[in-house]
């Protein structure tokens, strides 16, 4: 049995957490009516990191405020957190600071956090600039990229970067240079500006 890594998806209701997970798990996009997650749900997927299999147990949380007390209880069991906002919603971006303080309060001190600006495919409705995401991420010292649960852009990369970071941490020798998740992401990610989306 491969070791299990617990990853949690966080962010406002409607930013695309469930779609992000479904895209990663099944390679499909849930379009149509938006059904808000109730409480919390999880799915498993085994990924291979440098020839080692790692089981990701991914917890999809409800973004709605009324479920907050349910989801808080799960924070401390997570080794990694993917924090999403929607590039077409200024409010979801402005709420990232509040999410980061909740994380600070409830999660493990050494949890791996990644900030994701989702729905990068809908460029016509963009209200949050890529630079704004980058600046906020830099302020908090977390890696950042824009993603699309619809096209799949950077979805797998987000999970693989987390798995790689955790694996490197586990095997790291004190005298070795640390794995740089930022550099890894920069070298792998696809920038939304480079591509036309259908
Ligand atoms: N265009 C586009 N639409 C998306 C994307 N991701 C999600 N959506 C749409 O956004 C809506 C909300 O997606 P969900 O994945 O259900 O949102 P959520 O964050 O899980 O919401 P809660 O469960 O309430 O926390 C749905 O109508 C999706 O089809 C994306 O990357 N691009």
Beta bridge partners of 4: 55
Q: Are 96 and 134 in contact (CB under 8 A)?
A: no
Domain ranges in the chain? 4-195
18 lines ligand 1 (CB under 6 A): yes
What interface predicted TM-score (ipTM) does this complex get? 0.99
Atom of ligand 1 nearest to the CA of 21: 15
Q: Supply the pTM of this predicted model.
A: 0.91
pLDDT higher than threshold 80 for residue 160: yes
What is residue 197's predicted lDDT score, i.e. its pLDDT?
41
The rounded Å distance from CA 15 to ligand 1 centre is 5
Q: How confident is the model over 6-14, as a mean pLDDT? A: 97
Distance 196 CA to ligand 1 centre (A): 20
Is ligand 1 within 6 A of the CB of residue 9? no
Domain at 4-195, CATH class: alpha beta
Mean pLDDT on 64-88:
94
- pLDDT, tens digit, for every residue of 78-92? 999 999 999 999 999
Q: Whose CA is nearest to atom 2 of ligand 1?
A: 119
Confidence of residue 169 (pLDDT cuts 50, 70, 90): confident
Ligand 1 centroid to residue 30 C-alpha, Å: 8
Distance 12 CA to ligand 1 centre (A): 10
DSSP conformation letters of 148-186: -TTT-TTHHHHHHHHHHHHHHHHH--TTSPPP-HHHHHH
Q: Please write the tens of the pLDDT for every residue from 17-33.
A: 999 999 999 999 988 88
- Tell me, using a 6 A CB cutoff, whether residue 121 lines ligand 1: yes
Tell me, in angstroms, the distance from the centre of ligand 1 to residue 114's CA. Answer: 18
Lowest mean pLDDT among 22-36, 93-107, 173-187: 173-187
């Amino acid at each position: 049995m491969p070791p299990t890594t617990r990853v949690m998806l966080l962010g406002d209701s409607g930013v695309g957490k469930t779609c992000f997970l479904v895209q990663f798990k099944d390679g499909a996009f849930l379009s149509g009516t938006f059904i808000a997650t109730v409480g919390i749900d999880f799915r498993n997927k085994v990924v291979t990191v440098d020839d080692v299999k790692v089981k990701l147990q991914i917890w999809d949380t409800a973004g709605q405020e009324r479920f907050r007390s349910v989801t808080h209880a799960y924070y401390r069991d997570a080794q990694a957190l993917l924090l999403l906002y929607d590039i077409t919603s200024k409010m979801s971006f402005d709420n990232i600071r509040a999410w980061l303080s909740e994380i600070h309060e409830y999660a493990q001190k050494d949890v791996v956090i990644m900030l994701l600006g989702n729905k990068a495919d809908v460029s016509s409705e963009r209200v949050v600039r890529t630079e704004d995401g980058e600046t906020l991420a830099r302020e908090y010292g977390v890696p950042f990229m824009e993603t699309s649960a619809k096209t799949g852009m950077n979805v797998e990369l987000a999970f693989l970067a987390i798995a790689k970071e955790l694996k490197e941490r586990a095997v790291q020798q004190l005298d070795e240079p640390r794995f740089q998740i930022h550099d890894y992401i920069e070298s792998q990610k696809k920038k939304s500006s480079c591509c036309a989306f259908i």
